[in-house]
Amino acid sequence: MTYQAPISEMRFVLDAIAELPEISRLPGYEEATADLVAAILEEAGKLAGDVIAPLNHAGDRAGSVFENGVVRTPEGFQEAYKQFVAGGWNALPFDPAFGGQGLPWSLATAVQEMWQAANLSFGLCPLLTVGAVELLQAHGSEQQKSDYLAKLISGEWTGTMNLTEPQAGSDVGALKTRAERDGDHYLITGQKIFITYGEHDLADNIVHMVLARLPDAPEGTKGISLFLVPKYLVNEDGSFGQHNDLRCVSLEHKLGIKASPTAVMSYGDSGGAVGYLVGAENQGMACMFTMMNNARLAVGVQGLALAECAYQQARAYAFERVQSRALDGGDEPARIIRHPDVRRMLATMKARTQAARALAYWAAAALDRAKAEPDESKRAAAQARLDLLIPIVKAWCTDVACEVASLGVQVHGGMGFIEETGAAQHYRDARILPIYEGTNGIQALDLFIRKLLRDQGTAMNTLIRDLRVGLPPVGGPAKLAALRPPLAVAIEALERATAWLLDEGGKSIVAGAAGATPYLALCGSVLGGWLLARSAVEAGRQEDGTFAAAKLRTARFYTENLLGETAGLAGAVIRGAESTLAFTDDDF
């Protein structure tokens, strides 16, 4: 079984939830006509399903290999990446002045889902490049844009993010990589770990975005600067100069994403790698957050994508596997799709995945509006909504991926634990998603401290108000109206938890932090249910009654089987801090 992009589902969510037809009327997005969107999704689906997906399982078995200083990706990756670049797929949302296509981020997000679902290890390469482009567009000098943007946008060159060091981990302020001024550039020395596609054979040049500290810099994150450090230096005419003083030391041996080369990088073994300052000195973290926020949204999409792939495989297996008699009669063994618990698991996988897709595309639509709305107040409102949603998308969608991939193994039974079926690979690959680009615990702290406390709940309370306004109408069809009461209860739970965090969490950051993770899960669960209900309402306006009925069944399953978790999550936020913090060190 191989991946097939759910194009009709993607198109529905783009139109009904992300409101792409409205976005396409914003300045700069006029090219995103319905016909063009349909053609892009169709062609991307072919590349993902026919070219990239078949490399997934074989790439996992072979892995990327490091020998004599050279990194080789698995067989077929080079050819697939050449097709990816030739098709202009990396350029979808970027500035046409540098070779981009200027299309909406919501459309690019749907296409990004396809690459990640087809082959997560492959999809990681363009994911980081997209973030590097965003960073340079926002903070790069005119010379840096001229030298690097076009090649990065095309995908001919790839980008990386270099934050982590052996002694620092998520504590970026503890980094030791050094930068010394040397004329019009800087010399970088130090070591970085966990660098995705830090070295590989897919592109001619690799552009590293490296955090380092100047000799006279303040301590902590306030003293970090950001540098562009290319693998090959670039001459004034655009040709390659010498190989920079950087090298891959080794590749990590990992639980999953084995075809993605995760490099240990050494800078300056022979005196210093040439780097160019991006932004101002000691403002590196502010610049890097542009790339990090882009990557966090993209990682959330990875979670959605992997959940979709795991669901597709489990669904196919359930319709093929024959085992045990059905409980509703008959003497012959039945396909396991007949068994109620298998149906429950598949329904959970489907509902969680569709909720994650709606949430991710909805956030991408906020990104489009934050960039393109002509009215300044509308741009600001969209940016506030996006800032609030990014940690939820990153954390909740990646937790969904782990849950759905685990259920996928369970649907397969013992065969799910055997590598040949591929279900185990989805589970292994999924496990990195809640960890990188800031662990989900860090995302929860970001939501609590930087998003909730910083504006005293303004953005969240605005969101809660919008959720109430967007509930299924009381006077509508009875089955749709039945979704309203449980959603209203869940929204009220979110409001109570929010009020508690603003009050008690504002008094004690430690107490608030103890409830931050269940609070983020609460946000995701409520938003997921609300967006599925909205999907059911929008589907009901279409002529396809079969599609509308399926949407309603999914929303109903979510509200009746999954949304009840919100009461427990709200209780954990409001009442859980005391018992969490009551443990002594000796108790552990």
* Active-site residue set: 437
Q: What are phi and psi of 196, to 5 degrees?
A: -65, 125
Written as six digits, the tokens of 14 are 């783009």
- 280 DSSP 8-state letter: S
Q: What are phi and psi of 215, to 5 degrees?
A: -60, -35
Q: What share of the chain is helix, strand, coil (3-state, %, to 5)?
A: 60, 15, 25
Q: What is the DSSP string of 168-208?
A: TTT-GGG---EEEEETTEEEEEEEEEEEETSS-SSSSEEEE
Buried b (16+ CB within 10 A) or exposed e, 373-393: beeeeeeebbbbbbbbbbbbb
- For residue 556, give the nearest of 542, 575, 540, 573 by alpha carbon: 540
d(CA 444, CA 509): 13
d(CA 451, CA 498): 12
Task: Using DSSP, state whether 64 is helix, strand or coil.
Answer: coil
Q: Taking the mean position of all CA atoms in its chain, how far away is CA 109?
A: 9
Q: Is the dihedral of CA 149, 151, 154, 160 positive or negative?
A: negative
Residue pair 307/404 in contact by the 8 Å Cβ criterion: yes
d(CA 310, CA 174): 38
HSE value, Cβ hemisphere, 13 Å, CA-based, for 267:
31
Alpha carbon distances (Å) from 152 to 98, 100, 163, 203, 233: 9, 10, 20, 10, 15
Say what angle helices 376-412 and 458-469 make with each other, to 10 degrees: 70
d(CA 519, CA 503): 14
Written as six digits, the tokens of 497 are 């938890």
Say what angle helices 423-430 and 284-320 make with each other, to 10 degrees: 160
Q: Going by C-beta distance under 8 Å and a sequence separation of 6 or more, which residues neighbour residue 393? A: 296, 297, 300, 301, 359, 360, 363
